[in-house]
Chains A and B, each alone.
Chain A
Amino acid sequence: MSAPNKAASPLIYCKSHVAIHPSTKKDDNVFGFLICYRNVASSSTPSYGSGLGGENNHDFNVAWVRDDNISLSLKQQLLDADLYFADEYVKVNKHQGFGTTPTLTRKSLPNVDVRMLEYKSDWYCNINAVYSIQFRLPSQWYKGSIIINTKQHEYTSNIPVLFFHDDLCESTKLISKRLMLESFDPFTSERNLYWGGDDFKKFLNKNCDLQHANEVAGLNDNVYLVNPSLQDLRNFQTNKESSLGSSGLFDSSSKETKKPGLFESFEKSKWSVLGKIADVTNKLTNDDPKVNPILQTLYSSETINKLSNDKYVKRLLKKSQPQINKISSDFDGAKIYLAKWALNVKEQVEKQENVYKKLTNEMDNMVTEEEVHVALERNHPLSLVKWESMFDEQGRLKFTVSEIKDYIFHGGCVDDKVRAAVWPFLLNVYPWDSSEDERVQLYETLKTIYELNYKNQWVLDQTPDDFEEEVWKEEKFKIAKDVFRNDRHLDLYKHNTDDGNAVSVDPNSGNENAQIGEEDLDDDESTWVIKNPHLKALENILLSYNVYNPDLGYCQGMTDLLSPIYHVQQDEVVSFWSFIEFMNRMERNFALDQSGIKEQMVTLGELTSLMLPDLMAHLSKCDCSNLFFVYRMMLVLFKRDLDEEKVKQIWEIIFTNYYSSQFHLFFVLAIFQKNKVAIEHLEEFDDILKYFNDLKILDNIELMTRAELLFIKFKKIVMNVDETKTLSTNSSTEAGKDKLEISPRLRKLLSKEVILKNDT
């Protein structure tokens, strides 16, 4: 999507011969164009710093204009545009079967007056107003079509089903011809026969967060959610790939299984969805009565009978009588939807039930199943396209910070690319309400400050103002030794050479001694000289931080804290400022008198006494109540206990302060809970320390789930204690005597404010 003339035009998608079918008669069909265009007022801003790659197309309108409503010249322009986008499609999808020498039509994109189009259109709406789109594949008898559902109901009723007349549409013909000619493969990557709607789906996929609401009711009905909220996704969760079987389709309803109240909860969140499907089928019947028998032929009568005779389905159908009646009177096929859906729920329930039961039991039934569901549901990590869709055309966040944190807390980021964009916000380098331009400026400022105020102080072998020469030398040596040994198993840091690549050994000039000599040079520990540019950057940042915070000095563990941050960013400036924020949070761990880390150990001890009293009693018996065996976990936040990817997943959760600024303590508590049985078999400090040092936490999804539920339980305990207190002080003096007390220390765990060094 980088045609030179494209940026000038606000038109970003166009498809010809997209028709509405007001009646069953062919002659009544009305042809038109499906178009997408950027808002005329906004222009695309160059992206920088925030990770918003390329043009920001996430804010645009969708519209449909009928042929007979526009001038001939405008129509011609749109036909040209149609072909132009076909070329784009071919270019973009080259790797998916198109040959390398596509004979393009060489159409250029005409400068279409989109304001005029909008004015002439039957309807238009912003993409963010669209809730879902259903893509219905063409069949032998029917054209492929799409159904657009918007968030506002009144709106949706204005948008009729759009049929793609592939036999007439030049661009579609062009693309399918290419597919046939050049790869002899008329199928798309999804193994469906190519049709006109594929273009649109591809386009949307590129430009907004399009999520397949998979197999709703077990039918492959191709409903896609557009820029869904996390709540939508939770409701629509399909979760085929989940290893834990942690959640399933519609599983927030599954928690009510086999209880009479099933529909109370399902109605709230799910009924709207089913309602939409019902609406659609309703529309379908009006527009095209022949669809009904077709759908029915998908299932033999036996299947339908079997389905409707299933006890579970029966009960389900009976329970929801009013709604069922309404739907089935509208459209018989809806029954199948419901039946299949109910079966699906039942299946999921059986799988789920154990996980749910186990977790609720372990939390002493103090968490609701809804809470378990939310904690388990982690299948929607932030993707780059999702993240970008959260910004408006100025690169300003459209979502609330808490919504974004919900996303990160409950799913994290897909990969380091997303993290590189998200972490600077989490670590306060960029303000949440900044625009793209502001971030660009901020970056430049931060760069200047970093270089002038901190790096330049030492960079030419000088001793910074606040240091004596001898002390500075020692600090430098300490840092070099730790950086030299930092995460050398990772590709980024592996080779200590000037370009960070392996020393290439010329097999021909094979003087063996020379080779060994070179390897030695690479590894020679006695010199501690750092050459790898990324290790060098770590060293630079740590030295500069030393100048930034001369009172603290370098402490072992800091390299561990910096390494993943740099690994994600690979930018010295952003990493430096991210590290400063991270260190604000971690600094108290490094206080010379160890007040900070001890304070946390005491807090953790009190928390464990409250939440896992048996375990704490056991630890005390083993002379381990000081909890020193989790010292390493606390100091470097699990960096040594998890592999790189998992460390990042845990850290981004901690960075959010979503529930608590000390959420890491709940992670430790979760580890305690999970390993309780094993720990209770150990009786000496040595053995317990060894157990924790060698503990490799494999399932960190479970860890996250447990930590969240433990927090919720903790919060409820505090609330309960407070309630009983108020009650007892009101009634009499007697009761409050041996009641549980929540220390101020524990109360602090409910705060989202980061505890700084000086606070302790």
Chain B
Amino acid sequence: MSSRKKNILKVIILGDSGVGKTSLMQRYVNGKYSQQYKATIGADFLTKEVILEEDEESGNQGAGNFASATAGDSNNVKSNKKTATLQVWDTAGQERFQSLGVAFYRGADCCVLVYDVTNQKSFEHLANWRDEFLLHANISSPETFPFIILGNKIDVDDSKKQVSTRQAQEFARNFSADVASSASDNNSFGVPLFFTSAKGDLNVDAAFQKIAKSALQQNQYDMENNAFDDEEFNDAINIHLDNGAGSCQC
């Protein structure tokens, strides 16, 4: 059973411990930064109302349907603005408890992968985090599910940076190469990459604007599929369940 709610866009932030997941969330939602965040245990989330302007060029069918369903009341159809609630999930960075994450990943509309530009390991682990997420999150179509990569802590001195911009861009460009392997040809696509600083408030809003947009698209896409054939959709989930980690029915 899905915990998806209308108009709520669920975003999961993943990444190694200490890369700044909590700080990014706090910066985006509450506009503040503190040195005193503790290591996150379990998971928590914050919500924020977002206003999204429809991207003209992204001719997503789902988005269109959604707009006509809700915009009828008062919104000017031309400006195509929508409000939604972004639910940003902050998770624990230690991999030990990922299978518990299942409970928290369900119904995600977008996954944000964060690394620390001063920590090479945290960058190398991004692929693991992605796989972990896909394994447990019960995603209906992993090939198209939106991911976004954030390289955090760009405010620090250049001398301390361990991950080069080029390296990161390359990873983002080839992101889906190994995900969408079998079914959908060699249709590899890149994912958005942002360089941010929660401490210095650099690029955080821009990144989350993109995150919200991607989440909205994904949400509408799923709703559409769900509406078309509810039963089949549920079956699909069940099949996924059986194929994937058996432990996630909890």
B177 in the interface, Cβ–Cβ < 8 Å? no
User: What residues of B have a CB within 8 angstroms of the CB of A597 in the complex?
Assistant: 100
Of the candidates A526, A592, A693, the one whose C-beta lies within 8 Å of that of B160 is A526
B44 contacts A485, C-beta separation under 8 Å: no
B39 contacts A590, C-beta separation under 8 Å: no
How many residues of chain A get a CB closer than 8 Å to chain B's CBs? Answer: 39
Task: With both chains docked as a complex, state the minimum distance between the C-beta of A505 and any C-beta of chain B, in angstroms.
Answer: 18
User: What residues of B have a CB within 8 angstroms of the CB of A524 in the complex?
Assistant: 156
Cα separation A555 to B199 with both chains bound (whole Å): 26
Cα separation A489 to B38 with both chains bound (whole Å): 10
- CB closest chain-B residue, reference A685: B3
Cα separation A597 to B42 with both chains bound (whole Å): 12
B1 in the interface, Cβ–Cβ < 8 Å? yes
Quick one: given A485-B37, A526-B160, are A693 and B5 in contact (CB under 8 Å)? no
A291 in the interface, Cβ–Cβ < 8 Å? no
Task: With both chains docked as a complex, state the minimum distance between the C-beta of B158 and any C-beta of chain A, in angstroms.
Answer: 12
Stretch at the interface among B75-83, B89-97, B163-171, B235-243: B89-97
Q: Mark B207-244, 1 if CB is under 8 A from A, else 0.
A: 00000000000000000000000000000000000000
Of the candidates A526, A590, A628, A686, the one whose C-beta lies within 8 Å of that of B3 is A686
B39 contacts A528, C-beta separation under 8 Å: no
Of the candidates B38, B103, B116, the one whose C-beta lies within 8 Å of that of A485 is B38
Cα separation A564 to B159 with both chains bound (whole Å): 37
B153 in the interface, Cβ–Cβ < 8 Å? yes
B41 in the interface, Cβ–Cβ < 8 Å? yes
Quick one: given A635-B42, A640-B41, A686-B87, are A525 and B96 in contact (CB under 8 Å)? no
Q: Dominant SS at the B interface?
A: loop
Task: With both chains docked as a complex, state the minimum distance between the C-beta of A688 and any C-beta of chain B, in angstroms.
Answer: 11
Task: With both chains docked as a complex, state the minimum distance between the C-beta of B42 and any C-beta of chain A, in angstroms.
Answer: 4
- CB closest chain-A residue, reference B162: A526
User: What residues of B have a CB within 8 angstroms of the CB of A631 in the complex?
Assistant: 41-42, 100
Of the candidates B1, B17, B156, B199, the one whose C-beta lies within 8 Å of that of A482 is B17
Quick one: given A485-B39, A528-B18, are A594 and B44 in contact (CB under 8 Å)? no
Residues facing B in A535-588 (CB within 8 A) are 555-557, 559-560
B250 contacts A560, C-beta separation under 8 Å: no
- CB closest chain-B residue, reference A693: B44
- CB closest chain-A residue, reference B37: A485
A686 contacts B37, C-beta separation under 8 Å: no
- CB closest chain-B residue, reference A553: B96
Task: With both chains docked as a complex, state the minimum distance between the C-beta of A548 and any C-beta of chain B, in angstroms.
Answer: 18
Of the candidates B5, B17, B35, B43, the one whose C-beta lies within 8 Å of that of A488 is B35
A273 in the interface, Cβ–Cβ < 8 Å? no
User: What residues of A have a CB within 8 angstroms of the CB of B103 in the complex?
Assistant: 626, 628, 685
Task: With both chains docked as a complex, state the minimum distance between the C-beta of A689 and any C-beta of chain B, in angstroms.
Answer: 7
B41 contacts A523, C-beta separation under 8 Å: no
Task: With both chains docked as a complex, state the minimum distance between the C-beta of A691 and any C-beta of chain B, in angstroms.
Answer: 12
Of the candidates A477, A525, A594, A628, the one whose C-beta lies within 8 Å of that of B35 is A525
- CB closest chain-A residue, reference B96: A555
Task: With both chains docked as a complex, state the minimum distance between the C-beta of B108 and any C-beta of chain A, in angstroms.
Answer: 12
B196 in the interface, Cβ–Cβ < 8 Å? no
B41 contacts A557, C-beta separation under 8 Å: yes
Task: With both chains docked as a complex, state the minimum distance between the C-beta of A273 and any C-beta of chain B, in angstroms.
Answer: 50
A690 in the interface, Cβ–Cβ < 8 Å? yes
Quick one: given A555-B94, A685-B3, are A690 and B100 in contact (CB under 8 Å)? no
User: What residues of B have a CB within 8 angstroms of the CB of A525 in the complex?
Assistant: 18, 35, 153, 199
Quick one: given A628-B103, A685-B103, A686-B45, are A481 and B39 in contact (CB under 8 Å)? yes
Quick one: given A478-B17, A525-B35, are A684 and B41 in contact (CB under 8 Å)? no
B70 in the interface, Cβ–Cβ < 8 Å? no
User: What residues of B have a CB within 8 angstroms of the CB of A626 in the complex?
Assistant: 103, 250
Q: Mark B108-125, 1 if CB is under 8 A from A, else 0.
A: 000000001010010000
A279 in the interface, Cβ–Cβ < 8 Å? no
User: What residues of B have a CB within 8 angstroms of the CB of A173 in the complex?
Assistant: none
Cα separation A689 to B156 with both chains bound (whole Å): 35
User: What residues of A have a CB within 8 angstroms of the CB of B153 in the complex?
Assistant: 525-526
A592 contacts B96, C-beta separation under 8 Å: yes
A392 in the interface, Cβ–Cβ < 8 Å? no
B36 in the interface, Cβ–Cβ < 8 Å? yes
Task: With both chains docked as a complex, state the minimum distance between the C-beta of B32 and any C-beta of chain A, in angstroms.
Answer: 15
Quick one: given A555-B96, A594-B100, are A486 and B41 in contact (CB under 8 Å)? no
A636 in the interface, Cβ–Cβ < 8 Å? yes
B99 in the interface, Cβ–Cβ < 8 Å? yes
Residues facing A in B15-45 (CB within 8 A) are 17-18, 35-39, 41-45
A632 contacts B41, C-beta separation under 8 Å: yes
User: What residues of B have a CB within 8 angstroms of the CB of A350 in the complex?
Assistant: none
A623 in the interface, Cβ–Cβ < 8 Å? yes
A556 contacts B35, C-beta separation under 8 Å: no
B45 contacts A690, C-beta separation under 8 Å: yes
Of the candidates B5, B35, B92, B96, the one whose C-beta lies within 8 Å of that of A684 is B5
Of the candidates B41, B44, B87, B121, the one whose C-beta lies within 8 Å of that of A556 is B41
A371 in the interface, Cβ–Cβ < 8 Å? no
Cα separation A592 to B44 with both chains bound (whole Å): 22
Quick one: given A528-B18, A684-B3, are A556 and B92 in contact (CB under 8 Å)? yes
User: What residues of A have a CB within 8 angstroms of the CB of B43 in the complex?
Assistant: 689
B97 contacts A594, C-beta separation under 8 Å: yes
A680 in the interface, Cβ–Cβ < 8 Å? no
User: What residues of B have a CB within 8 angstroms of the CB of A287 in the complex?
Assistant: none
Quick one: given A555-B96, A556-B94, are A635 and B41 in contact (CB under 8 Å)? yes
Task: With both chains docked as a complex, state the minimum distance between the C-beta of A26 and any C-beta of chain B, in angstroms.
Answer: 73
Cα separation A559 to B92 with both chains bound (whole Å): 14
User: What residues of B have a CB within 8 angstroms of the CB of A632 in the complex?
Assistant: 41-42
User: What residues of A have a CB within 8 angstroms of the CB of B250 in the complex?
Assistant: 626, 628
Q: Mark A484-512, 1 if CB is under 8 A from B, else 0.
A: 01111100000000000000000000000
A481 contacts B17, C-beta separation under 8 Å: yes
User: What residues of A have a CB within 8 angstroms of the CB of B35 in the complex?
Assistant: 488, 523, 525
User: What residues of B have a CB within 8 angstroms of the CB of A557 in the complex?
Assistant: 41
Chain A to chain B contacts (Cβ below 8 Å), 5 pairs: A477-B121, A525-B153, A626-B250, A632-B42, A685-B3
B residues near A (Cβ < 8 Å) are: 1, 3, 5, 17-18, 35-39, 41-45, 87, 92-94, 96-97, 99-100, 103, 116, 118, 121, 153, 156, 160, 199, 250
Closest 6 CB pairs of A and B: A481-B18, A632-B42, A556-B94, A526-B118, A628-B103, A631-B42
